[in-house]
Structure 1
Amino acid sequence: MTRGAKQSPTVPPPIEGVFKQLVITMKAVMLYPGGSSIPKENATQAAAMLGNLLRTVADLRFGVQKDGLTYEGIMMFPGQPAFEAFARDLYNRGLAEVRFHSGVTVSDVLAFLGMLMVPIAELAAAGGVESHLWDLGVDTITVKEASTRLVDSAIPLSEEGEEPWPPPPARVAEIIQASMGGRPRDQRMLVRVLGDAGAMHAYLMETLTGRGEDTRAYLADLKLAELARAAMREPRENRAALFKAIAQAIEGLDPDLKRLVLGDKLLPDARTDDALASVVRQLDIDEVCRTLVEGLADDAASIDGLARAIRNLALMSLAERERVMDSFGSALAEAGHSPETVHSLLEAVSPSQLQVRERIQAPAEEHGVDSILKLVDLAPGAQVRQRDDSGFVALQEEARRGITDGDVVAALATLVSVDSRGASFESIAALLDDSIGLLIERGDFTVAADVAEALAATLESPELAQERRYRLESLLSAMAGRNDLAAVAGAMRNFAPETPEYVGCTRLLDTLGELAVDPLLEVLADEPDRTARKALVDLLSDMSEQHVDGFAKHVTDPRWFFVRNVVGILGATRRSGALPALGRTLRHNDERVRRETIRALARIPDRLSHEMLMAALDDVDAQNVQLAARQLGALQVRGAVGALEQVAKGEGRGNRETGPRAEAIESLGRLGAAESLPLLEAFAGRRPLIGRSSARELKAAAEQAIARIKSQGGAS
């Protein structure tokens, strides 16, 4: 090669070796039966190679493309059929990336490769590859699933199914709810709805007016946040068009409905939701201001609500604040309001000055000579004399550092707390409203905790007027936005527990209390990284003991994976107060939620939880019955002997396949159930028919159970 010629980048040989070994192991898994040792031997070698590589890096990532895997953007073994076929199997299951983390075991490798033998339709129905690995308990191999692409609403119906288009409003509501489950087809359907302005407009109108009752009562049913987040999940080049479609559907509403949606739903919620804020940025500022002004009534509540809506618009709009204020002033003037009214409203939105209560001066005779001399000593010429004064040095250092934005916000919080009954309350609250979100965004977690504690302490005052109580509650809620608490949770992962940042985050969450539960659960639901999810689960589990009811109300959420998260957190409380909610999820229509419920019940030491575990023996899912039987034996629930015998005999309403029956027999052995020996001996004495592996499995389980009971002193 000519000197100076640039070599093309190559994949390190150890990385290529891992890829080769995975392909070899995959072939062994597919060619040999489950009882063969060959797949396990190959998986052992693959796990060892991965372990060596992961000693020096946090994780190992392979990109998935249709014609091969990539490492750091470099295609591996291009044009070689065996490697292309392996990549295509992953690609066809909707994967964009595969990550191997430290601690990969042989069973993890086998479970991951075994996933390639599961039919694609079955994987999709179960929630995708990520959910499949979760159910198998594999947490050292994670995947990133490919995002859906924008679908042209003009495609032939035969490609999307025979469903009529555009769908009626009721069907749109079903599509939105179904998309929360994570199935790619449901999400693709929702994206198609977003691109259809007519379908969007019809959905909004039907949700708000179709039932002929109070429109405001059904405002909460409007799934604007879900629509905006669906748009946010799309590739960057498609998002603007989808956000614009949502904005146009809102702008197309009748004036009264549009004013209600903007003032009471979109603008307040968008303060703490980036996806909704992106929708707001697509709105025409002049039109929004005119719409909000048209509904202005001559009372304090309407004026305060309008001022708050305009402040929210100014915070989120891409236009300058002055541009928003000019548009607002023009809209007021067009509506016929007097110059005095216009000025007062503009002042309410953006006060030109703060009114600070004048300090009462002490009588002149109280200022003695000593006071004057102290002031003289603070003059610059006296610094030499004060060099040894520690208090003076500290003051000097504080002055040198200057005043930060956090100091200003903290001062505003102190003022609004001190002046909670004064005339300047609303002006100060407006300034705090505009700046309180900066604290967490800039990482001032200690100051954020101080501000939250100050607001919470003021709210405890019984003398606080009700309207001002609502105002302070809204300020505190503004610190509990989804993006804010995602930043807090991330900081708690990055900082050590003894650092000021970590302590500040802990104080902030303690102060927010139940306000933090809902947004943190949403952060958990959307978090793609397994390590971050585990940290979030641990954080929420620590909070759950004080907020059982706050978590329990979410067990009716339509997203199965969301409910499963909640169930696991409720189990971490180990409190009987969680049992009513777990009683509902024990009857959930998704077997994965019921399985997590069984695990949660096993963690709560209560007689009722044991009874609920026995009820789980009637589950139609074989894995759930096995798990319930195993937990009853491990917990030494003697009252479950009769129910376990029924499962062992194959009787009752639940799943009675070989696996659950064998597990029930083993649990009878763990319980030392001497009264079950006749039944177990009957199983052990049966002669299996040729080819009947199930009978042999039950016989072996019975023999082990009998030996265990006798070793514990049972009847001979």
Structure 2
Amino acid sequence: MADDREILPLDAQLLSEAIFELNVSRRNVNIYPAGHPSVARSLDRAYNSLEKLFELREDITLAIAKDTIVIDDSVLDKKNTAYREFALHLNAMNIACVTFTAGLPKDELYEFLRFLSIDATDLAPEALQEAVREHNLIHINIGFIDYGAFSFGEGRTEKEGSGTGLWERYIRGLIDGTLQTEGISDIIQEIPPEALADMLNTTNPGEIREEGCERVISTYMKQSPETTLSSMELTRLLDFISRLRPELKKQFLSSAVKNVSMDIRSTERAIREISVDKIIELLSAIDEQQVTIPAALKNLLDKFSKFYQLNSEDTTFGDSIIADDIFLSPDVVNLLGTGDFESYVTDIYQKEIEKVLRFDVSEVAAKELAELRKACSDEYVERCFNQTMLELISSDLISEEEYEYIVNMIKEEAGQFIETGQYGQVLNIFRVLESNLSRERFPDISSDALKDYKSPEFISQFIDSLRIIGRQAREDALQLCDYYGERIISPLMDALIDEESQTIRHFLISLITHFGARIIPVAIKHISDSRWFVKRNILLILGECGTKEVLPHVRPYCHHENPKVSFEAIKCLLKEGDSYGVNALRGYLKSENKEVVEQAIVISGIFKVREVIPELIQMLRKKDISGKDIYEKIPIVKALAQIGDPRALDTIRNTLSIRSILFKGTVERLREAIYGSLKHYPVDKIEDLIEKGLKSRNERIRDESLKIKKARRG
């Protein structure tokens, strides 16, 4: 049929791309809400594809015939998966054709896709047409199949037949012999028997020759030397013939009889599976129309006509009973006989049945329901779908074209997995493609797909996802970062620099430091950034690298004008035991800025800097003038305890002897801090302090002393 068609006026590649993107957009609109990134991206691609086609012509009409798309009287490749899927969906919505007109706005295209997402299973044609009107489609015209309008009336034009002219052309072509039957049987079979009969009933019987009847019958039954007749095809054929005008019925019945006689065995199987009423209807029609029957078919029909009535209820065929058109074997007849129930259902079996009836299924049902809800969730379904697609492209069952189509489909899924934080699924995709590439399985397609996944655009999408949802899938995020390796370090660093949220910054830093020393070149590149917070974050990252290689780059920032930068640099040096950091810390302990001094004290304790113990002891010995002076000794006490050097204990004892009438409460807080920190010192060096503490009037001091004493005994 397609051999003598003209070349498509539309660019085949553009057309294929447009239909593919329309199909992807349709699925995304059906799954995700308006404004979802997947919807927006796929909608943009579909819209841009149509715009390119509009540059070639003002309007584009797609005619739908079951799983086939027809454009400009040319049937598009039925083997193309994208064409087939899109056609089947439109066909399921009773759509015969769709016309897109230039000037189509993107919002209207979205409304069209929303219309396609309607569940049309139980909707009448009128309801679907009303739904189209509600979506206010101006530049998109949808033609529905109207079987009631099918006719071959003389003088009637194709335009007058609405969207049904396509079916009329096919049937007329079969009758006249101008249409090749190869490849269109599926399309013809879509026409319901009553619609096909109505179309033919308007035709003059004199115009239909025997050959035309046979072409219609064989095409409608999908009959060929390679196929067998099914009960469904036979039933549809009988329904079609029963609705024909009397003068047409004999013509088509004769052709049907001749056709079914070609394979008498498959005909016998088909007759056994249809209802008795249909068999009687066939016999009556043959008798009424006085159709000549081949001997083989006549013997078969005689065999099925020999049934009789048992009593007044049971119809039999041989030794079997026909109950509601179902043949019951003699064994089943005996089983259902009167009085035989007990011989098949024992008392023990009856008790088991009663036990089942009494069983409370509420708990089991609740558990099953929870599992069912999980299995029906979008995330679970998408994950299973992706796994199936990966298994397909890993197998040897598909062609190169199908492989490419599925790989493109997986790209869409990968984008959705990235957006929802399912990084493990994305990693599975990469591994399968890498495996296929190593096996040289469609290497060009696999290689191109991997290049797309490693492109700056896809990595940027991954980074955006990390900032939003990455913390909820930390382990999978780390594994995907490992896959990208050094390629992702710079994008992560750029994201860190731009990030405003402290929580997300910490997460990004954890991802960056996961690469260890590999991040040093990129980090050093950014350390000269003029923004103080960038310097601080870079110094923090360098401090996590655990290598002396970075020390020369860090030392200059120990005296930065911003203390946050300075102390981050000092911490980086202290981790590596660098004396430059100790000297810088010692200088800050002598600062006039109280906040800077307090920060230096805290760092001294955290990093256990023994070199600054003399400075800390001197600060603890400082004479107190005010309650604030007393209170400022508390962090010094804690820092010395963290270092745990016994050299500080004499000064600690002197501090416990402080007395103050005006600042008695502050003095007690200082004593509590001292006893709370004594556990960090060697026990044999603080025995006298423990004994005094046990006799103290302060309950907290007594409790801390008792804990230390018990710990020593243990």
Q: TM-score range by the shorter chain?
A: 0.3 to 0.5
Structure of greater relative contact order (alpha carbons < 8 Å, 6+ residues apart): 1
Structure 1 length as normaliser, TM-score?
0.36
Q: Which has the larger radius of gyration?
A: 2
TM-score, normalised to structure 2's length?
0.36
